[in-house]
Amino acid sequence: MGTSLNTPAALLQSELGASLKGRDFLALADYTPEEIMFLIELGVALKKTQKSGEPFQPLKGKTLGMIFEKSSTRTRVSFEVGMYQLGGHALFLSRNDLQLGRGETIDDTARTMSRYLDGIMIRTYGHRNVVELARGATIPVINGLTDLSHPCQALADYMTIFEHKGKLQGLKIAYIGDGNNMVHSLMLGACKLGMHIAVATPENYDPDEEVADIARDVMQQTGATYTHHRDPREAVKGADIVYTDVWASMGFEAEQAAREIAFKDFQVNAALVKHAKPDYLFMHCLPAHRDEEVSSDVIDGKHSIVFDQAENRLHAQKAIMAAIM
């Protein structure tokens, strides 16, 4: 599934690297297992190059427009720094900076921005906004997050697991909590990469059934499995990775009190992780609400790799930008 090439330049000049030029990055479902693994290996290579102090700037003179309808810490900083390290420039655009907020269509915005920029990253609410932007643009569009999916985070997560475990195929990842955008991208990535994903959610907070159907279709070709549980202990049993996210994602804060009741048995804590493998890894996409969805002793414990994940947003997104722009 992988490639033996190990420098960023060699990877980008390979046949697979060249084939990604000009593509959108909207969902992991749009990419083959080989293409996802290529981006992970490119991310690892870019990370090594950066840490060795060797400048690698394939995007010199290029500009990424970053549309933020949802606020962010990790997404803005990692994309902005990533473009700088690749030799390009990132332009921050809030909804107030664009005519989108005053009624201009997404299609007109996309066609106009395509005349100025070399790529667009958008972090928004409705997934349809990203699809429409990509349809209207003649430059690559990157999904920085929607209510349906978070593919950049999932790519960084699988890069992090690959670094720690040396492989992805055959590993089991257990996701505990809300059936949100994060679990959707994790499900699609796991099924593409031949992993086993077990999801535990309370009633009325299940993953989107259309996404689950896509995952089921994919896993028939890769040997992956997807199972859904009501009991977190069943999901975590024998897991290599235990993953959780906040109970109320951005935009759902008004439901916080109701969700605290619904999710009270879904905290990832010392008692729950005893059901995982002894060398399990704990992951969280951050920001975390300590002692809510995860106990402090777990997120700050020796199995936690949450800040490796956070760092790898930079390197995985650099891989995406370098490959498609």
**Euclidean distance between the first and final Cα of the chain, in Å?**
23
Instruction: Write the pLDDT tens digit of every residue in 217-253.
Output: 999 999 999 999 999 999 999 999 999 999 988 777 8
Residue-range domains of the chain with CATH: 8-149+312-324 (3.40.50.1370), 152-309 (3.40.50.1370)
- Contact 223/202 with Cβ under 8 angstroms? no
pLDDT tier for residue 324 given thresholds of 50, 70 and 90: very high
Instruction: Write the pLDDT tens digit of every residue in 262-284.
Output: 999 999 999 999 999 999 999 99
Distance CA 286, CA 310 (A): 8
- Contact 271/311 with Cβ under 8 angstroms? no
Q: Would you please indicate which residues are annotated as catalytic (active-site) residues?
A: 123, 150, 153, 245, 285, 313
pTM, two decimal places? 0.96
- Contact 171/198 with Cβ under 8 angstroms? no
Residue 1 has pLDDT above 50, yes or no: no
**What pLDDT does 3 receive?**
46
**What pLDDT does 73 receive?**
87
Pairing outcome for strands 172-176 and 225-229: unpaired
